[in-house]
Amino acid sequence: MKKILLILCLLFCASTSIAAEYVHIEDNPLRIKKLPFKWTFADGSMTGNFNLMEPSVLIAEGWRKITVDNSPRFNRRLQTAGRWNITVFADHAEKDRVVTDRDLETVRAEVRSAIKSEGVNILLAKWDLRKKQLGFNTAAENAAMNADRVALINYFKNIIKPLINNATTVQELGNLTNGNGYTWLAPEPVSPPVQPVQTITTGEFNNADE
């Protein structure tokens, strides 16, 4: 049991160190890195599992773990980000970068297109368009499908489109989605139950030709 716990602990430490970001203070310019597995110490000796060394050893060898990100939250769809700036301290490092909003009209057009596509996909996820094109839908199915299509269009025109047009920041646009707005779409029509075939008793079968 102790061996299992030790192995799990080592695996956890390894995965944590692999995910962590570091800088080496001798790099110019400073670059964000992962800890190397192999390392040559100042005295010329080499080691493996360097990424599992104690923090004091890593610090002595010039490595600083990035523990703080001071930059604002970044949304790739709405913003652009500059290069990382690294500040090194005695026992850790911090990073930050400039985040700038993208052009409002460009994002507005992208959001409008994306939400339209989302509405189309909602409709196609519910209804088999090929089945309709081949004429296999019942009249009730065609009517329900058309009702959903009209509902989607009206929801976009009356609810979503004004919000897109009136948005003054990319953050407002980023918060717009169809959300749960389409959960009220008409349910799929229920086919009438199949009537069971009339049961014929043996006597009735024998007398069927009389």
Determine what percent of the chain is predicted with pLDDT higher than 70: 75
Please state the rounded mean pLDDT for residues 88-97.
97
Q: With cut-offs at 50, 70 and 90, classify the pLDDT of residue 205.
A: very low
What is the pTM (predicted TM-score) of this model? 0.63
Tell me if 33 sits within 8 A of 76, measured CB to CB: no
| CA 22 and chain centroid, separation | 26
pLDDT at 121 over 90: no
The pLDDT tens digits for 150-201 are: 888 888 899 889 999 999 999 999 888 665 556 545 555 444 444 444 443 4
The least confident of 2-11, 39-48, 74-83, 166-175 is 2-11
Q: What is the pLDDT at residue 181? A: 54
pLDDT at 34 over 90: yes
* Residue 93 CB coordination number (10 Å): 21
Q: Report the mean per-residue pLDDT for the chain.
A: 81
Q: Which of 152, 150, 146 is nearest to 116 (CA)?
A: 152
Q: What is the pLDDT at residue 185? A: 57
d(CA 169, CA 103): 9
Q: What is the pLDDT at residue 65? A: 97
Q: Which of 110, 125, 94, 100 is nearest to 174 (CA)?
A: 110
Q: What are the residue boundaries of the structural domains of the chain, listed by start?
A: 21-101, 104-174
pLDDT at 27 over 90: yes
pLDDT at 4 over 90: no
| Residue 18: φ, ψ to 5° | -65, -40
- CA atoms within 13 A of residue 17's CA, in its CB half-sphere: 19
Is 41 strand, coil or helix?
Answer: coil
Tell me if 131 sits within 8 A of 183, measured CB to CB: no
Helices assigned H by DSSP within the chain: 2-19, 55-60, 104-126, 129-133, 139-155, 161-166, 170-174, 202-206
